[in-house]
Structure 1
Amino acid sequence: MIRWRLLFFAVLLIAGGLGAFFTTAEADNNDSNELVYVIPVEKEVERGLEAFLNRSVETAEEQGADHIIFEVHTPGGFVDAAGNIAALMRNTDVPTTAYVTGDALSAGAYLSLNADEIVMAPGTRMGSAAVIDGSGSAADEKAQSAWLASMREAASLNDRDEQYALAMADSSIDLPELGAGEGELLTLTPGQAEEVGYSEGTYESREDVLDHIGMSAASVEEMETTFAETLARFITGPIVVPILLSLGTLGLVLELFSPGFGIFGILGASSLALFFFGHLVAGFAGLETVILFGAGAVLLLIEIFSPSFGVLGVLGIAAVLSSLVLSGYSTTNILFALAIALVITAVASFLFLKYIGYSGTLKKIVFEDQAGNEQGYVSNTSREHLLGETGRALTILRPSGTAEFNNERLDVVSEGGYIEQGRKVKVVSVSGSKMVVREVKQTEAAD
């Protein structure tokens, strides 16, 4: 009997152990299968951020992510980039959550509305999404209408009340109960966002958000920008682009006025290299733009050292400018930056030539020697020795003609009057080969 009892307890222990083992294994298996990607949406919304988010979402999809959390903290940015990022967020099959960790203003509010759900951290804000132009003024009516339509569409994606999205972008909508009186844009606090259905909750930390979406035990992968992407976002900024183009063009132009290949050439080449690097990494430009720029530079060099009556020079300038325009994320912005660069280059080059002069590559191809009398060059025979001499008009002078002086026929010009053939004339002025004569009157001849 005792032996049977021992055997019974042994079976129970084994069964319990196996049950615990499989339960733990199943839990571990579930944990390993849940994967959440955290993608920061920070700083200005521009095409550099768009390139980073494209890579991040693509990586999350390839790795089989179960959820994507966009941690939003941005003051806004460019409408075109915001539209592309919003499309990226809507088109992914992975469920998304926008976690507002700072301010989600302007384009940041629009992006948050494109996520499947929104949650906010305490003390954050969402809203104030009026569209403005490049000068900081209110956009025209057409652009404003398009932006309001985008805000309305984003709100309707998850059945949110459209009037609050419109109030974020249109100050004429009056919502005083939410602190947006007449002439003010709506900006929601976490509590207000929950009240109007624009937030699914307020959470202190990422762990709280994971618990909210039911993935507290999931593996978390946080995307980070690479050094190249960070540099690209800086380089492609609207303030940095004109600076790089100005340094690039000015450096190369001044290098032509300076001997050897020195600091100006290095500065110009480095600035243009950074410009193309940033736009390549950000996805704005392709290798074809670099090749086009190189071809234009070669044509300009050929034109400098082997002039082709300007044909190669014009083609080179067109190729260089086209490559720069094609590399930009906005044709308007890049043309504005080029205009600034060309003005700065022209003014700086003028000052350099005026106060320093040039002794570089251009000096070798510009002919500066003078052919004067001091060097033995004589363009014509001087007749100054005939000044005051008297001769005879061989032809009618009206006013030009031919006269004879010391048995030598010479071309002459009267002072302006008509002189008949055979009359006596006197040389009154000599300038090079030009001789001016005056008729000698009879009384003057008698004297």
Structure 2
Amino acid sequence: MRRQKPLTRSAAGLGRGTRIFLLLGLAALAAGPSTAPDAARSASLAVIPIKDEITDVLRRSVERRLEDARAAGAKVIVFELHTPGGLVTSALDICRLIKNLPADVTSVAWVNHEAYSAGAMISVACKKIYMSPSSAIGDCAPIMVSPTGGLEELPATERAKAESPVLQEFRDSAASNGYDPMLCRAMVTVGEEVWWIQSTTGDERRFVSAADKKKLIDDVAEAERKWKTVESLADPKSGREQPLVQPVDRPDTLLTLSQSEAVAFGFASGIVGDLDDLVGKLGQSGAPLYLETSGWETFAMWLNSPWVRGFLFMIVVVGGYIEFSHPGLMLPGITALVALAIFLGAPYAAGLADIWTFVLLGVGLALLAVEIFLLPGFGVAGILGGLMVLGAFLGTFIPREPGAPMFSLPNLQGTWDALKIGIFAMSGGLVMAMVGIVLVLRFLPQLPVVDKLILSNPSAEALAPQDPFASVGLVGDVGLVISDLRPGGQARFGNEVVDVQSQGKYVEAGKRVQVIKRDGGSIIVRPLTDEA
């Protein structure tokens, strides 16, 4: 089945991200004309892929594509999920966008091929869930990682703060869309067992906690039991009964469901092989409207990759060094400033950098200015300022944790991972910068254009003082003494009067002398009468 694609892209949904890139000089390229959708874009079903890490850039992209889908008249909107998760705040915003769709619009999550963490939260915000073959959904709990990389128990207060908004979102989605609340909770919270039980008559099944299972089964005499544990499940693909391992979720694990488990547990509506299969199961006809991320949205996400940010950091360091070591070139300084603006602006637009990083950067730069202009050589202000600037740069890699105060140490695995990535990117950028500086010192003055802008170091001959009378009083010239030589004095050679020095003998004025030696700027003479 052929997929329709939009003919134009609206920039209206980029919001704060567009303003950031305006400041970076990208607005002229990123902002496109906003046009009303035409008949060629109309479709009853639209597909919005949500892939890779979920950030604020992706959230704004989803918002824009939802507007395009609504403008095209889509009554079924499919969210194709292939994501490991991402920012909780961005995912919560996407969930609200989905739940705020009109009642006559059906939202469908298509897990193709994974929807972990924030991806699982977005999935349950939809009215229906479909799974692709070899797919998985779940694992949406905060985990604390120690600075050494080992797992540690999350304190109760911190766990409550981190889990609260996520649990509330799952509870609301379960109540609104008919998903089992026990399974939803098990995807977020550890420490609880989940059992799948059924009535002895076989007409009802439910998920219960270990306490409820004990109350309904273990504490009841076998002859009087009305409930029993489910021992097998029917594979949705083959239809064959397969043994079921109980409990469904253990206290030390987070619930993650395969495609077969999700369907058998009633969490997903079915398994689909491809988009055509999904369109058929949803009872739709015609080509779906496939709304992908725009080129500039993809570019904005690309700018936040560690490799790109490490390269930008290298440009900032090398460009700043060239500008300070060769004042007046301007181009390296401008390049460094543009790279710095992108280095700081891209993560802020993506929701990764918090406002405190820019406050820390401003204070650090102020301390560096104090060190340079007010207290040169003092050292303390410069060291503190440099550390603050580096800390601010590193902070642009670290998102704020949900429920955490503005200044707090990382508690969640994703935050520690982001910190490690930031250290790796900046260290790599610094190493590349040092190599670049060495190359600059070696080759920059030899470039055809730059060699005309940079003054070359003068030679030793050029630095030597010049004798204004270099052509006067050459060896063999004869002159007239005009002041007694004791042994120094003056003599006239032609029309020029110069200082001369005899060989140690007294010579009266009016005598004729001959130059016998020049030693630097000194002229050594002898009286001609000595030759007689």
Question: TM-score normalised to the size of structure 1?
Answer: 0.55
What is the aligned counterpart of 1:197 among 247, 263, 266?
266
Map residues 294-333 of structure 1 onto 2, 5 A cutoff.
330=400
Distance in 2 (alpha carbons) for counterparts of 1:199 and 1:98? 9
Map residues 113-262 of structure 1 onto 2, 5 A cutoff.
113-132=124-143, 140-146=158-164, 147-175=166-194, 176-177=245-246, 179-217=248-286, 219-237=287-305, 239=306, 243=310, 246-247=313-314, 249-260=316-327, 261=329
Between 1 and 2, higher relative CO (CA 8 Å, sep ≥ 6) is seen in 2
Distance in 2 (alpha carbons) for counterparts of 1:79 and 1:199? 23
Q: Which amino acid aligns with 1:143?
A: K
Match of 2:74 in 1: 65
Q: Which amino acid aligns with 1:124?
A: S
Match of 1:81 in 2: 90
Distance in 1 (alpha carbons) for counterparts of 2:344 and 2:77? 32
Distance in 2 (alpha carbons) for counterparts of 1:68 and 1:215? 11
Matched position secondary structure for 2:90: helix
What is the aligned counterpart of 1:42 among 46, 51, 58?
51
Q: How many residues align?
A: 315
Higher share in helix: 1
Unaligned runs of 5+ residues in structure 1 are: 1-30, 361-447
The alignment-based identity, stated in percent, is: 28
Q: Sort the Cα spacing of 1:43 and 1:33 in 2 relative to 1 into closer, same or farther, 3 A.
A: closer
Q: Sort the Cα spacing of 1:78 and 1:178 in 2 relative to 1 into closer, same or farther, 3 A.
A: farther
Question: TM-score normalised to the size of structure 2?
Answer: 0.47
Distance in 2 (alpha carbons) for counterparts of 1:43 and 1:74? 5
Q: Write out per-residue CA displacement over residues 382-416 of structure 1, whole angstroms, 9 at most, x where no aligned residue.
A: xxxxxxxxxxxxxxxxxxxxxxxxxxxxxxxxxxx
Q: Which amino acid aligns with 1:159?
A: G
Match of 2:35 in 1: none
Matched position secondary structure for 1:157: helix
Cα offset for 1:39? 0.5
Max radius of gyration: which structure? 1
Cα offset for 1:115? 0.6
What is the aligned counterpart of 1:103 among 114, 122, 127?
114
Q: Verify the 8 A CA contact 1:102 1:121 in the aligned structure 2.
A: yes
Q: Verify the 8 A CA contact 2:56 2:349 in the aligned structure 1.
A: no
Match of 1:53 in 2: 62
Q: Verify the 8 A CA contact 1:233 1:282 in the aligned structure 2.
A: yes
Matched position secondary structure for 2:246: helix
Q: Sort the Cα spacing of 1:57 and 1:240 in 2 relative to 1 into closer, same or farther, 3 A.
A: farther
Cα offset for 1:180? 3.0
Unaligned runs of 5+ residues in structure 2 are: 1-39, 195-244, 401-405, 408-414, 446-532
